[in-house]
Every structure is written in C-alpha cells, then in structure tokens.
A and B are shown apart, each in its own frame.
Chain A
Amino acid sequence: MKKIYPKLPLIFTVIIFGFLLYFLTQDKNPSNPPSALLNKQMPKFESNDLIDENYQISGEKFYGKKIIINFFASWCSPCKVEHPLLIEIANNHSDVLMIGVNHKDKKDDAMNFLESGNPYDQIALDKDGKIAMEFGVYGLPETFIINEKGIIVFAYVGPITNKIYEKKIKRLLSN
C-alpha cells in the first residue's frame, strides 16, 4: 500500500499521454464539428446567379449530378487561402459542378475576388445568409459534396487543404 503513491503520478502521466496520443492520431479537428446534414438530403434553395442576375439557380436542378457547394465571401481571408486549390480541383474534375455560394457580400467585391480566377460553374447569391442557414453553415469557408441522389456526403468547415483534398475529396469526386 505504501509503495503505490509514488507510482501514481507516473501512471496518470501515461494514461493522459495515451489518451492525447490516441486523440491526435485520430486526425480530428475540433473546429470541424460533424455536420448534422451529413448523409441527409441537401436542403432546397433558390437564388439568382451572381454574374448573370437573370439566371435562376435552384438546388433541384442539380439532381443527378455530383456537385461541390462552397460557401465563400470576399471579406473572408481563409477563403482567399483556399481559392487556388478550388481552381485546381475545378480543373482536375471538370465533370463535377462547382457551385459557389457568395455569402453576405457586395457584388463588386465578389467580382474583384474572382478576378484572380473563378473555379465556380455557377454562383448563388446569398445576401441575407438564408442558404447558409439552411445548410447549417458554421463558418466561412465551408464546403459540401453532394452526390447524384442529392445526399450530402461530405462537409468541411474552414479552408480546404491539399491533405484533405488528397485524403477525402479526391476519392469522393472520382468514383
């Protein structure tokens, strides 16, 4: 009994280390809570196109196609960071539709933002943030992948990185 006390600190250290190590290797990202919409039907939305304002974008039109929905805004700096990668993804997967949702932004600013390159096939306007609300957007940028049946198969908060593209997105887009 006497001998157990000096051992306790070491035992606790090992236990805490074990948990933290396990947690780290799980590659979990606390800023990226699992979306409640994952594996559920994509919410319906309708909006005008940013570039051609007469063109009506509607979520239902995309059924049967694989799409990426990316929420962005010109005022969001992480969006700038992920922008080049989005362009690369758009080039690599020309068969996938990439829909941008321009969130609470001004048209001129958004157009300036896209001057360096436009990865999106269509851009929905979300001036009042309603679409973002429907999708349960947590913070900008946020990206969803939706399969042919209109089911959300992937959701990611924050700028997409090469690692995430290679590990998850690439597979989802190719098959």
Chain B
Amino acid sequence: MLYTGQILILIAILNNFLNVFLFFFLKKNSNFIKQIFITSSRLNALLILLAFLFLIFLYVSSDFRNLNVFFNSHSDKPLIYKISGVWGNHEGSLLLWILIMSVYNFVFSLNKSLDENLKNMTIFFQTIMTTSFILFMLLTSNPFIINFSNPNEGLGLNPVLQDPALAIHPPLLYIGYVGFSLVLSLAVSGMLTNKINTAWIKTTKQYSIFCWAMLTLGITVGSYWAYYELGWGGWWFWDPVENVSLMPWLTGLALIHSLQIINNNSYIKNWVIFLSILCFSLSLLGTFIVRSGVLMSVHAFASDSHRGMFILIIFFLITGFSFLVFLIKPDNTQRNPQSLVFNKYSTLIINNIVMTVACFTILLGTIYPIILESINNQRITVGAPYFNSTVIPIVLPGLLLMAIAPALSWKKNRINDFKYYLYIFFALLIICIVIYFLSNYNPWGIIGIAVGLWVLFPSIIQLIKIIVKKDIAKNKIPGLTSHIGMGILILGVTISSVWQKETINNLKIGEEILLENYSIKLKNVKEEVKNNYIRMMGNFKIFENNVEIGEIYSEKRYYPVSQTVTTEAGIMHKFDKDIYIVIGENISDNEWLIKIYFNPFVSFIWLGALITVLGGIISLRKI
C-alpha cells in the first residue's frame, strides 16, 4: 500500500520512455502508433495525478510511515494545511511541478488546430522534459520514501507556511512558471518543423497569456502574503526568490506583446521564439537558485548541492538545446523590416526592449553575488537599493508608452486623437512641476503618480469609447483592461511606498495613541490556545475623529511543535489606506511594543494586479 506512489511514478517513467520511443516511428503513418503515442502522453498525466492524490491521501491520513509526511506534517494540523503541506516542501512541490507539466501536455494533446507533426513533436519535447523532472525527483528528492521507524507524530509544517494565501501561492505560481515549458516545446518544435504559422501563433498566444496571467496572480498572492505575514509593513523585498519569479514575468510580458505584432516579419518571429525559450529557461534558472541554496533567501528550500547540480544540468540541456536549435534553424522566410516610425510596431518593440533590459538587470543583480564570489571569493549582497534605482528608471519609458500604444494605428505615423494625449500629457507635466516646486514631496512620488494617471486615464477613455461606440476594435478590450490594472498598480506602488508612515510605541492596556486624525487604543491582549498554536492577540480599537470605526486584531503565534513564532499583522483595509498593526514584545506587565503603519492606497496594488489578470483571462476568449 505504501509503495503505491512509488509504483505509479515508475510506471509513468516506463510509459514516457515508450512515448519518446514511439515518436520515432510516427512517420510510418500508422494510425495505431499515433493513437498509442497520444494515449501514452495522456496516461502520464493520469499516473502523476494519481501519485499526487496518493501523497495528499498520506498527508490527510497523517501516515508518518512516509518520510516526507513525517518531516512536514503533524496530526494536529487543520485539514487544509495538511493538504497544502504536500507542496510546502521541496519533494512534494516537485511532484506538483511534474503534475502541472503533465497536465499541460494532456491539455495540449487535445489541440486540433495545429499541424500534426508540430503537435506530435511538441508532445515529444514536453514528455522528455517531464521525464527528466521525474528522474530528478526520483533520484534526489523522492516524496515516497518509507520511514522505517514508524513514529506516532510528525515534525510539523513550517508555521510561516500555514496560511491560506500560501496554500494557493505555489500552485498558481507553478501553473505560470511551468506552463512556459509548453511554450518552449512549441517554439523548438515550430522551428524544427518549419511550421511557425497562424495556428502556431494562436496556440502560443493562448498558452503564454494564460501562463502569464497565472504567474501574475501567483506573484500577487505571494506579495499579499508577505505583506500581512512577515509584519514588515512592505510587500516586495527584492528577495532573490521574488526576483526569479519576476524575470519570467517580464519576459512573458514581452512575449505576449510581441505575439501581437508577429505576422510575417521574420525578425519578430525570431524574437518571439527567443522569448518563448527564454521564459522557461528563466523559470528553470529560478528553480535552480531557489532549490540549490546558492543564495540566501527567506524562501530557503532544502538546499543540497546534488539537487542543485541536477537542476543545473536540466537547465543547461533544455536551454542549451533550445538555443542551439535557434542558432541553426532561424526563421528567414521573409525580410520585411518596418521603417521605424511612430506606430504600434515601434512602441511594442520599445516595450520589448524595456522589459528585456529590466529582466536582465534583475538577473544581473540576482546572480552577481554568485559571479563575484566565484571570481574573487568576496561575499556581497545586492539588495533593494540596486533594484529600485535601476529597474524603476528602466521601465519608466515603457510605462509612458503604455498609455498611447493601444491608440496608435498599425501602419500610419499618427495617433488617433493625438491632440488629446498631448493635452493630458502636458497638463500632467505642469501639475507635477508645480507640485514639485510648491511642496517638499518626494520627486519619485510625483513621477509615479503622474505615470500612473497617465496610464490610467487614456486607457479608461479608450475603453469607454470602444464600449459606447460599439467600436469594431473590441479586440482592444483585454489589453486596455490590463493597462488600467497596471495604472492602478503603479499608483498603489508609488503612494504606498513613498508616503508610508511608521511609528513604534509602547502602549499599556487601555492607553491610546493619536496619529493624524486617528486614535488607536489598545483594548486588551489575550493569550489563547488554538488547535496547533498558542496565540497572543492584541485587540485594538480604532477611532477616526473620535468616532469608533472598528477593531483590529494583531497576533503573534507560537507553534509548539516546531517552536517558532510567527506574526499575523492586524490590518484594517480602508479605501484610501491600510491601518497596519504589529504587536511586538511584552515590555512590562501590561505594556507592549506596538508598531503602527499607515499604508496609503496599498490595496490598489492588489486591485490593480487582479484587473491586469482579468484582462489576460478575457483575452483568452477572444483568441
């Protein structure tokens, strides 16, 4: 019974070998072989799914005879965290990774629009990649190892991970990350079969937009989690692991934009192929950085240089092979260089350049410590100041274009309603300059707000125009929606980071503190024993202009099994700001250290990100 998972995985490997083997006999035009080929690629997804469900079953039934369950679970845990514990560790999350890869292959095998050779070859590459990950899991990180000591109790899940947002964060992120593997398979097969045609573009668009939207959602959930769980009042820390998720996001963004302009231009075709390969390569590189432990990070997964070596080799084989194909089989069907006038092409090309440069800037900052230490044995860390002062100015021109690009025409050197944009732009510019001279506001804040509004308003106006006029340009709706989301996001990011207010106070029970027009009163601090943790919960009453507007509960949790303390910041979401309270140490009998943050417009960040994702999702219906 305990060996079920292991057996399923082994059958899956055999099945995949068969699949790869059969691929070479497909040309014989035997329908029978084709049938088996397709069926075996689907069977793989089924087997992995069963193995995954079996692992969930072991977790839910707290079967500590499985070593992975023993290390990462505890019978006291609530059901949902028993389940999410499956992917809260290196081995289980690798199985999830493989499952998602297989499911993509399964879904892709249902495709009917693509050329058959292209489709089969894509399945072939996808199976090879999936199998290499299965081998990786089996050889270095098997979640189905038996624990012969048969203990009564497990060691428990890292308490920081016991959180609803973190239960869904990795699957979402993986659906994005891993999905790019299919985009890579498509690109390589497309080059090898010379079938980069309309059907290829359409399919690649579908998958890359879907993956990108899921990746956006995953990153958003992750940063929301960091916001309330880490208790630092921030939501993005330029942690290496955050960076590695941002890199495929940026290249993915470039990819979905350049897919809009691919048509028959061979330069852009090659560029699209390059990006398709790059997205998954960066995902692999990210996986390497996270799981080999070469960099310090709050995400510190099990670090083991053998695992690192294995992933590094997988990365090198996949990326190296893909770029090799890219080198020897570039598309040179048609040379159709566009004259660089101010039209949609040129803005999309600038967008691509901006995203790619930003991506490589982040890549450089992330792996620079590794490179430097390899060369001269010096240890440095590259932190937020580097990223803030490089990435933000780099993406700025791209953001400025975001407002105009959708309104540009494809061929002509003219913007529809050009003068309105000019008016808006200058009006914003003047307002910014005036505010800048009349106040001592942070210039970055002003620039950020201006850019945010600059993106937001034209996009809204265009969207309204399309809806009111029942314009034929309905295909612009998803893009505009995403741009509106980004505008809101930029506003949220700027305002919340520039105008955040932080105070640290000692508060006694019953005491209140005045901040702006709010007063915050510490009502009581309770200690309670919960299911698998003990919590110390501060109850705060919030008054605005002396009228009570609600209560905030801020917690510290102590998990006895793993003996760790976690923070659950108490947050009151208001339209214009979050009141964010972290309860700290007990100073004396009834006096506590309290950190209060006013985070203005921080909810715009998540709202904006969700609208952006929505844009991506609705575009899937239009393709």
Contact = CB atoms under 8 A, between A and B. Distances in A.
Are A and B physically bound partners? Answer: yes
A77 B358 CA distance: 40
Interface in B296-353: 296, 300, 303, 305, 308-309, 312, 315-316, 319-320, 323-324, 326-327, 330
> Which of A7, A28, A34 is most buried by chain B, counting CB atoms within 10 A of its CB?
A28
Contacts of A31: 293, 296, 300, 303
B562 interface: yes
A172 interface: no
A68 to B, nearest CB: 24
Interface stretch (A12-20, A55-63, A129-137, A145-153): A12-20
Interface string B109-152: 00000000000000000000000000000000000000000000
Contacts of A29: 293, 303
Interface string B272-314: 0010011001000100100011111000100101001100100
A135 to B, nearest CB: 19
A94 interface: no
Contacts of A27: 305
A23 B294 contact: yes
Interface of B: 155, 270, 274, 277-278, 281, 285, 288, 292-296, 300, 303, 305, 308-309, 312, 315-316, 319-320, 323-324, 326-327, 330, 367, 370-371, 373-374, 379, 562-563
A163 to B, nearest CB: 10
B562 A16 contact: no
Contacts of A13: 281, 316, 319-320, 323
Nearest to A11: B323
Contacts of A77: 155, 562-563
| Among all A-B residue pairs, the 4 with the closest Cβ atoms | A10-B323, A9-B323, A17-B316, A30-B296
Given A23-B294, A31-B300, 10 more contacts: A9-B274, A10-B327, A14-B320, A16-B367, A19-B367, A20-B288, A24-B292, A30-B293, A75-B563, A77-B155
Contacts of A76: 563
**A interface bracket (residues with beta carbon within 8 Å of B):** 20 to 34
Given A20-B294, A21-B312, A27-B305, A10 B324 contact: yes
A133 B277 CA distance: 49
Contacts of B326: 6, 9-10
A77 B563 CA distance: 7
B561 to A, nearest CB: 9
A112 interface: no
B312 A9 contact: no
Q: Select the residue from A23, A29, A30, A75 with max chain B CB neighbours within 10 A.
A: A30
Contacts of B277: 9
Contact of B294 (A17, A24, A33, A34): A24
A136 B487 CA distance: 47
Contacts of A19: 367, 370-371, 374
A101 to B, nearest CB: 19
A10 B320 contact: yes
Nearest to B274: A9
A175 B62 CA distance: 48
A27 B373 CA distance: 12
Contact of A24 (B274, B300, B309, B379): B309
Contacts of B563: 75-77
Contacts of B285: 16
B382 to A, nearest CB: 13
B236 to A, nearest CB: 21
